[in-house]
Structure 1
Amino acid sequence: MPRPRAQSPTYSLAERDGRYYVQWWEGDRKKRRSLGTGDRETAKRELRAFLAQIDVPPAPEQPTVAEILQGYLADRSLRVASVPTLTHACAALTEHLGPLRPESLNRSVARRYATLRRNQGRRNATGTKAKGVKVGAPVKALSDGTIIRELVTLRAALRWAEGERWITSVPYIEVPQAPRPRDRWLSRGEALTLLEAAVAPHVRLFIALGLYTGARSGAILELTWQQVDFGAGLIHMGAGAGNKQRAIVPISFPLRRELEKAAQSRTTDWVVEYRGDRVHLIRHGFRNAVAEAKLARVTPHTLRHTAATWMVQAGISFEMVAKFLGNTAKMVEKVYGHHSPDYLRQAADALGGAPSRVPPSPVSG
Structure 2
Amino acid sequence: MAWWGDKTLADVRRSTCEAYVAYRMTQPIKSFTKSAPRMVTAQGARRELEDLSAAIGYWDGEHRLTRLPKVSLPEKPESPRDALTRHQVARLLKAALGWRLKTDGTWVRLPGSAAANRRHLRRFILIAVYTGTRPGVIPKLLWHESPAQAWVDLDDGVIYRRGKDEKDHKTKRRPMVRMPPRLLAHMRRWKAEDEKTKRLQDDGEHAATKRRAKPAQRAATVLHHGGRPLAGRIRKGFANIVHDAGLDGEITPHWMRHTCATWLMERGVKVWDAAAYTGMSTATLEKHYGHHRPDHQAKAREALGGAR
Q: Is the 8 A contact 1:225 1:270 kept in 2?
A: yes
1:335 equivalenced with 2:253 (yes/no): no
Cα offset, 1:241, TM superposition: 4.0
What's the C-alpha RMSD, in Å, of the aligned pairs? 2.2
Among candidates 180, 186, 192, match of residue 90 of structure 2: 192
Cα offset, 1:269, TM superposition: 2.1
Partner of 2:29: 124
Instruction: Decide whether aligned partners of structure 1 residues 348 and 264 sit closer, same or farther in structure 2, where only a CA change above 3 A counts.
Output: same
Among candidates 97, 121, 130, match of residue 212 of structure 1: 130
Percent identity (aligned): 30
Instruction: Decide whether aligned partners of structure 1 residues 130 and 229 sit closer, same or farther in structure 2, where only a CA change above 3 A counts.
Output: closer
SS in 1 for 2:78: coil
Instruction: Decide whether aligned partners of structure 1 residues 285 and 169 sit closer, same or farther in structure 2, where only a CA change above 3 A counts.
Output: same
Matches within 5 A, 1:32-181: 94-118=1-25, 120=26, 123-124=28-29, 130-132=32-34, 134=36, 142-165=40-63, 169-181=67-79
Q: Is the 8 A contact 2:154 2:187 kept in 1?
A: no
Instruction: Decide whether aligned partners of structure 1 residues 344 and 144 sit closer, same or farther in structure 2, where only a CA change above 3 A counts.
Output: farther
Partner Cα separation in structure 2 for residue 168 and residue 241 of structure 1? 31
Cα offset, 1:189, TM superposition: 0.7
Q: Is the 8 A contact 1:202 1:274 kept in 2?
A: yes
Partner of 1:291: 243
Larger RCO: Structure 1 or Structure 2 (Cα < 8 Å, ≥ 6 residues apart)? 2
Query: Aligned letter for 1:255?
Result: L
Q: Is the 8 A contact 1:213 1:307 kept in 2?
A: yes
Matches within 5 A, 1:262-273: 262-266=190-194, 267-273=218-224
Partner of 1:232: 156
Partner Cα separation in structure 2 for residue 181 and residue 224 of structure 1? 31
SS in 1 for 2:177: strand
Q: Is the 8 A contact 2:219 2:226 kept in 1?
A: no
| 1:104-133 CA distance string (max 9 Å, x none) | 211211122223334x26x125xxx94335
User: What TM-score do you get using the length of structure 2 for normalisation?
Assistant: 0.75
Query: Aligned letter for 2:223?
Result: V
Instruction: Decide whether aligned partners of structure 1 residues 349 and 184 sit closer, same or farther in structure 2, where only a CA change above 3 A counts.
Output: same
Partner Cα separation in structure 2 for residue 348 and residue 323 of structure 1? 29
Q: Give the unaligned 5+ runs of structure 1.
A: 1-93, 359-365
Instruction: Decide whether aligned partners of structure 1 residues 105 and 258 sit closer, same or farther in structure 2, where only a CA change above 3 A counts.
Output: same
Partner Cα separation in structure 2 for residue 133 and residue 298 of structure 1? 25
Query: Aligned letter for 1:205?
Result: R
Q: Is the 8 A contact 2:17 2:72 kept in 1?
A: yes
Partner Cα separation in structure 2 for residue 284 and residue 195 of structure 1? 16
Partner of 1:78: none
Partner Cα separation in structure 2 for residue 273 and residue 317 of structure 1? 35
Q: Give the unaligned 5+ runs of structure 2.
A: 97-114, 145-150, 195-217
Cα offset, 1:159, TM superposition: 0.8
Partner of 1:246: 174
Partner of 2:301: 348
Cα offset, 1:143, TM superposition: 4.0
Partner Cα separation in structure 2 for residue 343 and residue 114 of structure 1? 40
Cα offset, 1:301, TM superposition: 0.5
* Length, aligned pairs only: 253
| 1:38-61 CA distance string (max 9 Å, x none) | xxxxxxxxxxxxxxxxxxxxxxxx
Cα offset, 1:256, TM superposition: 2.0
| 1:108-166 CA distance string (max 9 Å, x none) | 11122223334x26x125xxx9433527xxx76x5443233222221111111222328
When structure 1 is superposed on structure 2, of 145-154 and 217-226 the one drifting more is 145-154
Query: Aligned letter for 1:155?
Result: S
User: What TM-score do you get using the length of structure 1 for normalisation?
Assistant: 0.64
